[in-house]
Amino acid sequence: MNNTNMWKIGLIVLVIGSSILMLYPPDKKINLGLDLKGGMHLVLEVQADKAIEIQTEQSIEQLKTLLKESSIKYESVRRLGTNKIEIYGISLDNERMVKDILDDEFKDYEYVFAGTQTTLTLIPNVEMRMRDLSIDQAIETIRNRVDEFGVSNAAIQKIGLGGGDKILVQLPGVDDPGRVKGLIKNTAMLEFRAVVSGPFSTEEDAIKDQGGILPDGMKVFKTNPRRMDKGYYVLKSSTVISGKDLKSAKRGQDSYGAPAVSFTLNSQGASKIRKFSSANIGKRMAVVLDERIETAPTINDVLSYDNIITGSYTIEEVNDMALVLRSGALPAPLKYLEERTIGPSLGADSIRKGIYASIIGLILVMVFMLFFYRGAGINSVIALIFNLIILMGVMAYFEATLTVPGIAGIILTIGMSVDANVLVFEKIKEDLRAGKAPRSAIDSGFKKAFVTVFDANLTTIIAAVFLFQFGTGPIQGFSVTLMIGIIASMFTAIFVSRVIFDLVYSGKRKIKKISI
């Protein structure tokens, strides 16, 4: 055995040994996908128009504050549609001052003056960017909630043409679909607002209390009947603090030992609530979650960093609320477009059938190669086994998720991995029939087949890359196993197979016949 063969054998041992080490133990290294483990498949649509409306409402509050600080009188500031703001009742004498405010603070809007009416319209490019951002934020928020809930190997991604406004969520192993759906869909928009009046039995009564017309800067909110008596309150439109002022949230207890949500504010939020509470001792402040009043306690003391939300909560509800508050509010509501729940028994059946298919395919390929190529067929069988070891080892190293299409990719790899051997063996047989010496035929066969094998595998890898880039979870699983399998087959069918030939015939000075 020469030195060249020694380093080649060493490389093969290193690759196969490393693959076996990476693979062990397989049940902890290779993750099972939704179709094998069971779980939930959801397609959600982000209602981006609502995100634009929220941004417009925030701009309205900012505009009112700036007009008031500049002592500019107006009759009303209101939202028109989704992305427009109308200022009505500003005198022509103040037009220059209003233009300065809009130029400095509202660069995302185009504005038009028409007498005492000014209309602001969100710039189209800015609106498109906000929509894209709302979808990206929704994906990140959902991912944070799923991670905190403890779902492993979740697939969360944007789908649809041009990026799309739809989100695919696949959650393997979930055994409480209803709770998970609630956690994902809950907008979790937390706001603390000053109470003007209430409670009232109907919304009409709440408006009548304000003279029949709701004044500017006020809004009617409904209570959450699961937490408070059913009713309506008139609250200030502006918020004291909101979810963005939260630093952390966790399960706590109220003074009676009942479950409650304990939360800590950041320095900015603590400063705002301290200032508000000190000026409103004896008055009420409402805690609003997703446009519903959770509680409306009286302020008895100055509030600061650490606070608590009380109500008729169960421990599970408190844990879920703390989770969604920690993970942040969704930028816009979500709409369920598709939902599928896959049971673990169906997944186990898929695993069993996938294993049977793989074993049958492996046996058939081995029988074919041994029948047609005899001794050389043993060479290809060894290369095939090495190929599967490398494939599974690499998947385990990268903690890839195995799906039903992924199993199909493995079965396809079994067939494709011997394709290179067939090309090499046929080239060798051609050269032998042409009268070449056996050792020369082996060298020539591998050289001639390499270009063809490389070209065929390269085009398949390119196709697999496109499948991974543009496909969803199951298609990506197929493409990953296919790419790894093809790269492994190049190593085993060309490199390992050639080393085996060299080892078999290296000790023979003159080769009379090749078993092929």
Question: Which residue reads 């090495």 in tokens?
Answer: 386
| Other residues' Cβ atoms within 10 Å of the Cβ of residue 6 | 10
List all residues 6 or more positions away from 370 whose beta carbon is below 8 Å from its beta carbon: 377, 378, 381
Q: What is the CATH number of domain 3-37+343-505?
A: 1.20.1640.10
Six-digit token string for 29: 């290294």
Grouping H, G, I as helix, E, B as strand and the rest as coil, residue 78 is strand
Fold of 48-127: Alpha-Beta Plaits (3.30.70)
List all residues 6 or more positions away from 442 whose beta carbon is below 8 Å from its beta carbon: 428, 498, 501, 505, 514
Alpha-carbon distances, residue 181 vs 44, 111, 341 (angstroms) = 11, 41, 12
Peptide bond before 259: cis, by omega within 30 degrees of 0? Answer: no
Contact present, 386 and 362 (Cβ < 8 Å): no
Please state the φ and ψ torsions of residue 446, each to the nearest 5 degrees: -70, -40
Alpha-carbon 59 to chain mean position: 30
Bridge partners of 40, per DSSP, are: 171, 341
Grouping H, G, I as helix, E, B as strand and the rest as coil, residue 374 is helix
Of 452, 447, 463, the C-alpha closest to 412 is 463
What's residue 151's pLDDT? 65
Tell me the pLDDT of the chain (516 aa) as tens digits.
566 678 888 888 898 888 888 877 755 666 676 667 767 778 888 888 888 887 888 788 788 888 888 888 888 888 888 888 888 888 888 888 888 888 888 888 888 888 888 898 989 898 888 888 788 878 877 777 777 666 666 777 787 655 567 888 877 777 666 777 776 766 667 788 888 888 898 888 888 888 888 887 788 998 888 777 888 999 988 788 777 777 777 787 777 777 877 778 788 788 888 888 888 888 888 888 778 887 787 887 777 777 676 666 678 777 766 766 666 667 777 787 877 776 666 666 777 777 788 788 888 888 888 888 887 888 888 888 898 888 888 888 877 777 777 777 787 777 777 888 888 888 888 888 887 877 788 888 888 888 888 888 888 889 888 888 776 666 777 788 888 888 888 888 888 888 888 787 765 545 545 556
Q: Which is it for the CA torsion 148, 154, 160, 161, positive or negative? A: positive
List all residues 6 or more positions away from 57 whose beta carbon is below 8 Å from its beta carbon: 79
What's residue 161's pLDDT? 54
Bridge partners of 265, per DSSP, are: 246
What's residue 232's pLDDT? 92
Tell me the whole-structure pTM to 2 decimals: 0.56
Q: Do domains 48-127 and 186-338 have the same CATH topology?
A: no
Q: Domain residue spans in the chain? A: 3-37+343-505, 48-127, 186-338
Fold of 186-338: Gyrase A; domain 2 (3.30.1360)
Alpha-carbon distances, residue 191 vs 154, 182, 221, 241, 329 (angstroms) = 30, 20, 12, 6, 11
Of 162, 178, 151, 217, the C-alpha closest to 341 is 178
